[in-house]
Structure 1
Amino acid sequence: MGLQRELDGQQAEIDRLESDTQMVRDRKARDEQLIAASTSPKEAQALQNELDTLARRTGELEERELELMEVAEQTKARFDEAAAALSGVDGRRAALEAAIGEAEAAIAREASAAAEERAGVAAEIQRDLLGLYEETRSRNGIGAARLRGNVSEGSNMALAPAELMTIRETAPDEIVFCPGSGAILVRVDEA
């Protein structure tokens, strides 16, 4: 944005100098016609002095215009580099947005598949057990967790030997809860 403003300012200055140069050239052409038609030596001398001044002014304007054109060319090169870099960033952003879109679509498909699977499993579970699970999950954030060895995955802590003994003595079809997290413990025979 800054380079664009700088480039626009330089171009406006070049255009102004070109306009000034053209005005000086027009004035010079008019004076040359007047000097050719002049019959007074004094008037011719004054016109010649003005022509000399206009020639110097034309040279100054053209020199300044060339300097500005060179600076504008350098600014344009920097602008083109910045535009190319921005284009590269835009390309990478588009690729990232596409990858994010694909990942979101994959996540949505996985979530849909998991919801269907959960609905199928939930249909096989007794309604009162499912209700207890939902109530525990809403209260504690975790509905059920596996008991792996002596560690509850609900709290990620080892259970005390007395707690573990009580849980192991409970019948396999009875519900037991993790003392640390309050989640339903799923006892898995790891043998």
Structure 2
Amino acid sequence: MRAEPAVQRRLLDLAGVDTELTRLNHRRTSLPEHAQLTAAEAAVRAAKDAVVEAETNAGDLDRDIRRIERDVEGVRTRTARDNQLLAGTGIGAKQATELQHELETLARRQSVLEDEQLEIMEQREALEGHLGHARATLEAAEKEIAAILERRDEALLDIGTAEAGRRRAREEVVATLPEELLAAYERRRAQQGTGAALLLARRCQACRLDLDRTAISALKAAPPDEIVHCEECGVILVRTPESGL
């Protein structure tokens, strides 16, 4: 295959654009915001779990408090009834004794219930602080996700804009290349990651290896318009006055 040296040098322009496109794609996939987002999402899930757990525990305590309040109210109602009976007329000594005994039992029961109620209310108060902290943690984690998404989207927009410009530049270079030469370049790029490279001071700029004497002799003997390849990595070598031939 043959192509004028000036046409071959345009392969370097194409390779440069492709290198930039590869770099931009790598930048897109390796944005730090991707890892940050994964960590932030995990933090949100953990914070949501903490809120749900605290709310569930708070609900359980609230139900216990309401139950005890009902029990205390029942004891008070029964106590008031017994006191009313004791204060009434027509009650026998035996019934009065039984009522008095029941009142003592009710008093002890009320004391136990009120102690239990106080303990649960203290637990509920402490849990309220924990629940507030859990909710604040969740809110902060959700705000962090929003901030990360904003930074990521801005970075992706910048990358997309840069890519669009590089793709336009690529189309302009491709339009100036013969189809056969372009096809050869694309095959090498698919195989090696790079389609063409400069031969600089007898060194391939793709694999960064110095060519041996035999390869240099073959390159010297090759006509300027002949398409030549690196014997090490196989890319199209573009020769210029700086090639050292």
TM-score, structure 2 as length reference = 0.69
Q: Counterparts of 1:145 and 1:166 in 2: how far apart (Å)?
A: 17
Secondary structure class of the residue paired with 2:229: coil
Match of 1:153 among 205, 212, 215: 205
Q: Residues 155 and 180 of structure 1 are in contact (CA less than 8 Å); yes or no, is this contact kept in structure 2?
A: yes
Match of 1:66 among 105, 108, 118: 118
2:74 is equivalent to residue 23 of structure 1: yes
Structure 2: runs of 5 or more not aligned: 1-51
Show structure 1 runs of 4+ deviating over 4 A.
188-191
Query: Which amino acid is 2:209 matched to?
Result: M
Match of 1:6 among 57, 74, 82: 57
How many percent of aligned residue pairs carry the same amino acid? 34
Match of 1:75 in 2: 127
Q: CA RMSD in A?
A: 2.2
Match of 1:162 in 2: 214
Q: 1:171 to 1:142 in 2, by over 3 A?
A: same
Secondary structure class of the residue paired with 1:157: coil
Q: Counterparts of 2:193 and 2:200 in 1: how far apart (Å)?
A: 20
Query: Which amino acid is 2:166 matched to?
Result: A
Please list the CA deviations of residues 34-92 of structure 1 after superposition, one character each: whole Å capped at 9, or x if unmatched: 22334223222221221222122112111111111111211221222222222222211
Q: Counterparts of 1:165 and 1:157 in 2: how far apart (Å)?
A: 16
| Deviation of 1:126 (Å) | 2.0
Q: 1:175 to 1:34 in 2, by over 3 A?
A: same
Structure 1: runs of 5 or more not aligned: none
Q: 1:165 to 1:22 in 2, by over 3 A?
A: farther
Q: Counterparts of 1:38 and 1:153 in 2: how far apart (Å)?
A: 116
Match of 1:49 in 2: 101
Match of 2:172 in 1: 120
Q: Residues 147 and 185 of structure 1 are in contact (CA less than 8 Å); yes or no, is this contact kept in structure 2?
A: yes
Please list the CA deviations of residues 129-149 of structure 1 after superposition, one character each: whole Å capped at 9, or x if unmatched: 112212322344321123233
Q: Counterparts of 1:16 and 1:65 in 2: how far apart (Å)?
A: 9
Q: Residues 38 and 44 of structure 1 are in contact (CA less than 8 Å); yes or no, is this contact kept in structure 2?
A: no
**Alignment: residue pair count:** 191
Q: Counterparts of 2:101 and 2:186 in 1: how far apart (Å)?
A: 103
2:159 is equivalent to residue 102 of structure 1: no
Q: Counterparts of 2:123 and 2:115 in 1: how far apart (Å)?
A: 13
Q: Residues 176 and 185 of structure 1 are in contact (CA less than 8 Å); yes or no, is this contact kept in structure 2?
A: yes
| Deviation of 1:123 (Å) | 0.8
Q: Which has the higher contact order (CA 8 A, sep 6+)?
A: 2
Match of 1:32 in 2: 83
Please list the CA deviations of residues 145-173 of structure 1 after superposition, one character each: whole Å capped at 9, or x if unmatched: 23233332322322223323432453443
Q: 1:133 to 1:75 in 2, by over 3 A?
A: same
